Amino acid sequence: MDHSDRSLIERLEQLYRTRGQRLHVDDGPAGRVTALEHALQCAQLAEWADADESLVAAAFLHDVGHLLHEDPTAGQEDEHHALRALQFLRPGFGPAVTEPIRLHVAAKRYLCARDGAYLLSLTPASRHALLLQGGVMTDDEAHAFEKRPHAVAAIQLRRWDDLARTPGQRTPPLGHYLRLLALLLAREPSGTRPDWHLLDAA
């Protein structure tokens, strides 16, 4: 892990220790928790499901874009939070971490198209956010989504995201997931990371 990786972990720790006490944005069917509790619960659900380490990391980090926002009241209408997260994470993490994060908003639109019970389970706030996020996918859009790399991981992440809202749930501490993130960074030396600008253009 090089110097820039260490500083990325330090900045992440700082974000979750300070802004993690904000109330989590309500965009799902369960209760009210803080942003840190939501991240820890989401990662815990991924671990319980035996997800690989990259997906556990994605589950933990998926809403870091909300924490990067100076304004804690930006709320669920802040549909650019996934893109903000990518800009922050891509210098360190590969697509197995960043792509499920990028696609987790679209995965909600996908699940609404494919699972009627899922659509009915959304809170009024989440349905309102759905409209801002592009509404329920059409059949063609859902087919195209299924073919995208990391779509299955994004759908899993979305379901954990919706469940990770249990007040008082016991979870591993923040340090447990920071260690996992550091491990992933150490495994992928920065010199071997892809040029994301080229990938985006492809």
Span from 14-22, 57-65, 144-152, 170-178 in contact with Fe ion (CB under 5 A): 57-65
Dihedral angle of Cα 24, 26, 28, 33, to the nearest 10 degrees:
40
Which listed residue (5, 26, 161, 162) binds Fe ion by CB under 5 A? 161
Nearest distance, CB of residue 201 and Fe ion, angstroms: 29
Q: What are the CA-CA distances from residue 7 to residues 10, 23, 91, 196 (Å)?
A: 5, 26, 11, 20
Where does residue 17 rank: exposed (0-12), middle (13-18), buried (19+ CB within 10 A)? exposed
**Selected range binding Fe ion among 61-69, 74-82, 121-129, 132-140, rule: CB under 5 A:** 61-69
Residue with tokens 């389970």, as numbered in its chain: 121
| Segment near Fe ion (CB under 5 A); pick from 68-76, 93-101, 107-115, 160-168 | 160-168
Q: Are 131 and 179 in contact (CB under 8 A)?
A: no
Helices (H) and strands (E) in the chain, counts: 12, 0
Q: Interface with Fe ion by CB under 5 A: which range of 12-20, 126-134, 147-155, 159-167?
A: 159-167
If the CB atoms of residues 90 and 158 are measured against Fe ion, the closer one turns out to be 158
Of 26 and 63, which CB lies nearer to Fe ion in the complex structure?
63
- Contacts with Fe ion, 116-155, as mask; x by CB under 5 A: ----------------------------------------
Between residues 5 and 63, which has the closer beta carbon with respect to Fe ion? 63
* Rounded alpha-carbon distances, angstroms, from residue 18 to 24, 40, 85, 147: 13, 15, 17, 38
Give the burial string for 113-133 (b: 16+ CB within 10 Å, else e). beeeebbeebeeebeebbeeb
Task: Tell whether residue 26 is a contact of Fe ion (CB under 5 A).
Answer: no
How many residues bind to Fe ion according to rule CB under 5 A? 2
Q: Which of 26, 63, 99, 162 binds Fe ion (CB under 5 A)?
A: 63
Binding site for Fe ion (CB under 5 A): 63, 161
